Chains A and B, each alone.
Chain A
Amino acid sequence: AQKVTQAQTEISVVEKEDVTLDCVYETRDTTYYLFWYKQPPSGELVFLIRRNSFDEQNEISGRYSWNFQKSTSSFNFTITASQVVDSAVYFCALSEVGGTASKLTFGTGTRLQVTL
């Protein structure tokens, strides 16, 4: 069975600090996809990134960066120079690929609070 663990329940930082959100996953498959979603206070789920299991290249998008390490089954998310607008709950998710079993398993989320 697949599982996603986000051990950090809540993180508080001061604006402009860097912050890393941890994500550890478990899967028996060799082919899978990892995702990060953002849930701002308004409640919707916003897609941030998708990474497949064969691509371990780190990715940077503006102030956001992701570090994927298969050796440790981790897919961590870093926000550089955090801003108040980054305050949200962030979810890491896993999708296995196999027949018709493609569906997202979410972690429990990390609530990020960025203050002035």
Chain B
Amino acid sequence: DAGVIQSPRHEVTEMGQEVTLRCKPISGHDYLFWYRQTMMRGLELLIYFNNNVPIDDSGMPEDRFSAKMPNASFSTLKIQPSEPRDSAVYFCASSFFQATLEAFFGQGTRLTVV
């Protein structure tokens, strides 16, 4: 298996623009997580899905952030409109059964909003 695949790896956008980050989890994994990593806040969970259903989105910072998982092999994290403080590395991770088992992380998307 190729592992968790995220795209793009790097994204530079202007403030106010819409940004969409993409994630393909490992086949067969039924949990998908979106994390954000910043210098100030470290790694924080934004939202996670179980069997394509959002379970906990309490980490989503604002209404500007939304996430979807239309099927078991694809998820998106959208920011609209983007702001400079959204600049961070966004990680997608997937796991089988629960996060009590190893969560496999993608390589991350480095987002820069100017």
A→B interface (CB under 8 Å): 33, 35, 37, 42-47, 50, 52, 91, 95, 97, 100-109
Q: Which of B11-19, B40-48, B61-69, B72-80 lies at the interface?
A: B40-48
- Measured as residues with beta carbon below 8 angstroms from the partner, the interface class of chain B is 20 to 34
The proximity string for B residues 15-57 relative to A, scoring 1 for CB distances below 8 Å and 0 otherwise, is: 0000000000000000101010000001111001010000110
Inter-chain contact B56/A43, CB cutoff 8 Å:
no
Inter-chain contact B56/A101, CB cutoff 8 Å:
yes
Contact of A47 among B56, B89, B102, B106 (CB under 8 A): B102
How far apart are the CA atoms of A37 and B50 in the complex, in Å? 23
Inter-chain contact B42/A106, CB cutoff 8 Å:
yes
Q: How many pairs of A and B residues are in contact by the CB < 8 Å rule?
A: 59
Cβ distance A25 to chain B, nearest Cβ, rounded Å: 15
Contact of B45 among A100, A104, A107 (CB under 8 A): A104
Cβ distance A89 to chain B, nearest Cβ, rounded Å: 10
How far apart are the CA atoms of A105 and B35 in the complex, in Å? 10
Known A45-B105, A47-B105, A104-B35; 20 more pairs at CB < 8 Å? A35-B102, A43-B89, A44-B105, A44-B106, A44-B107, A45-B91, A45-B108, A46-B105, A50-B102, A97-B98, A97-B100, A100-B50, A102-B99, A103-B48, A103-B99, A104-B33, A104-B45, A106-B43, A106-B44, A109-B43
Cβ distance A50 to chain B, nearest Cβ, rounded Å: 6
Residues of the A chain whose Cβ atoms lie less than 8 Å from the Cβ of B44: 106
Inter-chain contact A104/B103, CB cutoff 8 Å:
yes
Question: Contacts A91-B43, A104-B45; is A50 near B108 (CB within 8 Å)?
Answer: no
